[in-house]
Amino acid sequence: MSYGFGYMNDLIDKVGTWASGVFTKATPASICEHLRREVKELIDAPHDEEEAADCVLLLFHLAHKQGWNLEQAVINKLEKNKARSWGKPDAQGVVEHV
């Protein structure tokens, strides 16, 4: 399948450049800890798109700091998941691959 490339990486670069300039002492570990806290806020308010955006911004900052091509990693993971078999929802409604 063909995907439009570049946009996510451009956005990661913009977010990461800004975040690295503002949060000069951020480390991958501190970004992950901040992400953990933001995910908790999203869990508490799952319909709040601003909380979801906070999580994405932190993931983009982490990807920038780590030098990841997150766009390609997402595409690769999507293709891998499309080829998997999936089980039935558990008690919390979560479906995992088998």
Q: Is residue 65 part of a domain?
A: yes
What burial class does residue 61 get, using C-beta atoms within 10 Å of its C-beta: 0-12 exposed, 13-18 middle, 19+ buried? buried
Q: Would the pLDDT of 1 be above 90?
A: no
Determine the pLDDT at residue 2: 57
Q: Is residue 55 part of a domain?
A: yes
Find, among 78, 63, 65, the residue nearest to 8 by Cα: 63
Split at pLDDT 50, 70, 90, the class of 6 is confident
Q: Is residue 39 part of a domain?
A: yes
Q: Is residue 11 part of a domain?
A: no
Ramachandran quadrant class, 5 (left: phi over 0; alpha: psi -120 to 50; beta: rest): beta
What secondary structure letter does DSSP report for 97? B
- Total number of domains constituting the chain: 1
Beta carbons of 57 and 49 less than 8 angstroms apart: no
Q: Is residue 28 part of a domain?
A: yes
Q: Convert the pLDDT of each residue in 24-83 to its tens digit.
A: 999 999 999 999 999 999 999 999 999 999 999 999 999 999 999 999 999 999 999 999
What domain range includes position 59?
21-72
